[in-house]
Amino acid sequence: MAKIPNELIDQIRDAVNIVDVISQDVQLKRQGKNLMGHCPFHRDDTPSFAVNEQKQFFYCFSCHRSGNVFGFLQQLHNLSFPEAVQQVAEMANISLPQQYTNRAEQSVENSPKGQLIKLHDQAARLYHHILVNTEAGQQALHYLTKRGMSREMIEQFSLGFAPEQSDTEEVLLEYATGQQLDYQLLRKSGLFTEDHQGKLHDRFHGRVMYPIKNESGHVIAFSGRILAPKATANEPKYMNSPETPIFNKRRVLFNLDLAKQAARENGSLTLFEGFMDVISAYDAGVKTGIASMGTNLTEEQIRIIQRLVQQVNVCYDGDDPGQNAINRALQMFEDNAPQLTVKIIQLPGGLDPDEYVQKYGAIKFKDYLQHSQENAIEFHLRYLQRGLNLQNQDELMGYLNAALRVIAGVAEPVAQDLYLQKLAEQFNLDKQSLAKQLGAIQPTVQPARQRSHPSPARRTQWCNRPAPQPAAEPSAPTQHLASKLENAEQMLLKYYLDDEGIRTMVRGIDDFAFPDQAYQQLQREIDNCLSEHDEISTAALIDRLDDPQAKQLLAQIEAQSLNENVSDEAVNDLIRVIMDEAPLTQQINAKRAALNEAAMMNDQELTTKLATELVNLYQRQQQMKTEELN
């Protein structure tokens, strides 16, 4: 299969702006020369993900992920290089010749995950066909239309129906068998169950099927709602696909593929409890709706929300379970994304969003969502009243103490004063007395936004549950303390990248070389790139580098903020540091090579002699580093 030519790769890469591509998955804000956002590759409470629009590359200052537009898509969406090139080409409306698209498409479809995704897409089409075009789907279609579901929404969300089980028919299994799909692929898909004889059966029967899609819009799982009037212990109301190589419910949000497009326009997402709520809201014109796979949010889902938007609106059911779910969600957001603005939309009369739309219509629903938002403090002050008889003095005093602990967690003095005023007016109390009691509580409660996690007292008052144990996080690479030599190498190579005059100066020095092979190799690649192009392009240079560590080193060097108007004297100082200290580094490398050779020859006397000399060189090097630090 033909390899995509470098000239075509350059054309495709240069046809898009990396900011436009990354903004589809990460909310970016201008900060100096870079655009900053929350890194999508690790837990990032403080934005450390930088995108350089001028040079068309990204770099995370925490986890050190880096790359150009192709690298971003490869790392975030687990794509091969040809797949990433094809995706960017589609964004740029560039038609790839057939021989290259075939290679990319076959690469996707032939991978194990690609085969599973293709099977799920086919299953979704089959279930949808049964729902809208067959007699078997008429009851399910009637159920959906009776609930106010339009045919447009049925098509938009690819809803389907898995027919009742019969002794002679397993519709999905028959389809898969007819396609001669591999038995092991079917076992891993989660779409089938397996009996004790190893025979497969359709997992879903008699259920309305809600396809669950990934961020790219491909089906990766299903949630099936039972059509029978009542669920049983063996047949729950909702049945979700099990976790598979392509589906992890902790990392999936229903409708995110559509919602993130709308979220880029207004900067917020709306979190609902159920799929029907999301679909009804979408039909009513609220396109930013998402739902977790169950009412309990996960840290992974919150990180996805945080990298896309600055605000999330929580609109759960108005009944008691819905209120408890809101309380849990707020705690999760406070624990895992304290910089995210969270608003609560409290629906009246215990209604859920779907019921509200059916009762009052789309226009009133949109208006209510826009004008009926409250913040977390307002919600908690009201939530604490649930189940209390506030006419009883003891219960009122208990509530007031709890409410004051919540207010004590507010960092802004003016906001605290406003909440105290409302509390005094609501219960006809003296504001100064409340303020005095608040002053006694204040030292024990750390204000919100000044901590990574709420204080134990506040957590107890708000949630009445044990503190959640944080999930294990992959640690970011430890940054070593760069030596004087390494700093000089990085700075000189940065200037070498950016300034033709400095390149000429360095090339004019006899026998100059970077002591570190990684820097020397990078210089060679820069020179090779310049031999083919009039100007150096960081994005193009990244594609030339095969070594991931070399790509990371390039991004690290490019991410440095240095004085653009550097003097020749300053550059000469850097060169002097490199040339003065290089001999010691070169001696160490040569001595190590000689030691390895002596060891291979089993020359014990020479090995001992060389090892002693190497230790002495290391001691001299360490002494120089100590002098630098002092």
- Indicate the domain borders of the chain: 6-110, 112-247, 259-376, 384-451+462-474, 484-629
CB-neighbour burial class of residue 244 (10 A; exposed 0-12, middle 13-18, buried 19+): middle
SS3 449: coil
Give which of 325, 273, 337 is closest to 300, Cα–Cα.
Answer: 337
Give which of 259, 285, 258 is closest to 271, Cα–Cα.
Answer: 259
Output the pLDDT for position 225.
93
Phi, psi angle pair for 345, to nearest 5° = -110, 110
C-alpha to C-alpha distance for 581 and 482, rounded to whole angstroms:
14
Q: pTM of the predicted model, to two decimals? A: 0.72
Q: Is 267 in contact with 27 (CB distance < 8 Å)?
A: yes
Q: Is 552 in contact with 59 (CB distance < 8 Å)?
A: no
Fold adopted by 259-376:
Dna Topoisomerase Vi A Subunit; Chain: A, domain 2 (3.40.1360)
Output the pLDDT for position 456.
35
Residues 112-247: name the CATH superfamily: DNA primase, catalytic core, N-terminal domain (3.90.980.10)
Beta bridge partner(s), residue 327: none
Output the pLDDT for position 466.
37
User: Amino acid identity of 517?
Assistant: Q
Sheet holding 34-37, edge to edge: 29-31, 34-37, 49-52, 57-60, 66-67
DSSP single-letter state for residue 117: H
Q: How high is the mean pLDDT in each 10-residue block of the chain (630 residues)?
A: 82 93 91 91 88 92 92 90 90 84 60 90 97 95 92 96 80 93 94 93 95 93 87 79 94 94 90 93 95 84 92 90 90 90 90 90 93 93 92 93 92 92 93 91 65 37 37 41 78 89 86 80 87 82 88 88 82 84 70 81 85 82 69
Output the pLDDT for position 181.
92
Q: Is 94 in contact with 578 (CB distance < 8 Å)?
A: no
Helix (H) or strand (E) holding 209: strand 207-213
Fold adopted by 484-629:
DNAb Helicase; Chain A (1.10.860)
Residues 6-110: name the CATH superfamily: Zinc finger, CHC2-typedomain (3.90.580.10)
